[in-house]
Homo-oligomer: A and B are copies of this chain.
Amino acid sequence: MKSDSSFKESAAHSPRLTRHQQAVLDLLHQQTDALPAQELYSLLRQRQAIGLATVYRALETLKLRGLIKSRMGANGEAFYSLVVSDQHYLTCLQCGQSFPLDPCPVQELETHLQPSVPFKIYYHTLEFFGLCEPCVQSID
């Protein structure tokens, strides 16, 4: 059998992913950082014909299935990544720079929390905000 670079979903009752939904998911598998929808759209267009609305709809579908997640950036754009990725940041309110933080400090918490709530948890967001060293000084 020949190798298959796509990542198939094995969910029991969910309908199969469409070609475009699969393409979006595959693309996210190749990324190390979360990307905005518009950026994913540009990257996808380099390889195939696809509409922007379709990208947004695919992202919505994948998110409802618990395969990907999104975090809202400061300027109202959403950044998408795989649910399995688990990266958090310190973000400067002044210059906007983000500094990665690892490991995830709430992974264990989520595991403990899940059994105690009537809610199926897919993922979490966690971010710290403040001022980076250079910006703290430039405020004076």
Contact = CB atoms under 8 A, between A and B. Distances in A.
A122 interface: yes
Contacts of A113: 101, 105, 128
Nearest to A78: B76
A120 B106 contact: no
A121 interface: yes
A121 to B, nearest CB: 4
B140 A119 contact: no
A76 B36 CA distance: 13
Given A72-B73, A76-B77, A106-B106, 16 more contacts: A64-B94, A72-B72, A90-B119, A92-B119, A101-B113, A106-B109, A110-B128, A118-B133, A119-B131, A119-B132, A119-B133, A120-B130, A121-B130, A122-B129, A123-B129, A123-B130
